[in-house]
Amino acid sequence: MTGIVQFSALILAGGQSSRMGEDKALLQLNGQSLLIHMQQLALTAGASEVLVSRNQPGFIQDAPGQFGPLAGILAALEHCTSSHLLVLPIDTPRLGVTSLKLLLQKADGTASHFANSPLPCVLPVTAALSTIIATQLHRGLRSVKGLLAQLNAIAVPISPSELLNANTPQDWQRCLDIFSKGNLYAKA
């Protein structure tokens, strides 16, 4: 496939941010929240809509008693209007549009993710996907990696520096330092 599939994007911003000590979605990057940064990234990559999984009023919320990324994905599938769903974690501000487009190109009727990382990923939006996720959650399995294995997802190479997670204040400071130097993709 040479083109990009039609896709919706889902920003996973419902975590506790316990290691960060404050809400990661509200961290400021170049004068805007990390949530706005990730929404703009998705739109620039070509998303037809951007959904946000965040257990707060005004956002897509997980079903009661369900936790983790799979619960957010399952809840968002009810709102998704595209054939594929690009799932983006809130805490990877160094992701680039070019890499996301490559990930999307590989998702032609199948799932894809970056090598050595289950998120971000692209999932085909089907009734079967909702059933698979609901079954996993019912069994107490909350692993996105496990879901991708069931879907025989394609692993796409990427520079590990683009997947630098901002989980702690130290991680966040490292991201800010890289952004302030103007080299978004420098080695972490």
The pLDDT mean for the chain works out to 87
Kindly report, residue by residue over 99-119, the tens digit of the pLDDT.
Answer: 999 999 998 778 999 998 999
One-letter amino acid of 98: T
68 in a structural domain: yes
2 in a structural domain: no
Q: How many domains does the chain have?
A: 1
CB 111 within 8 A of CB 187: no
Tell the residue number behind the tokens 């983006």, with chain if given. Answer: 88
19 in a structural domain: yes
- Who has greater pLDDT, 1 or 51? 51
185 in a structural domain: no
Q: What is the DSSP string of 49-102?
A: -EEEE-SSTTSB-PPTT--SHHHHHHHHHTT--SSEEEEEETT-TT--HHHHHH
CB 83 within 8 A of CB 94: no
Confidence of residue 188 (pLDDT cuts 50, 70, 90): very low
Host domain of residue 37: 7-180
Question: How would you classify the pairing of strands 154-156 and 112-114?
Answer: parallel
Kindly report, residue by residue over 116-137, the tens digit of the pLDDT.
Answer: 899 999 999 998 999 999 999 9
188 in a structural domain: no
CATH value at residue 59: 3.90.550.10
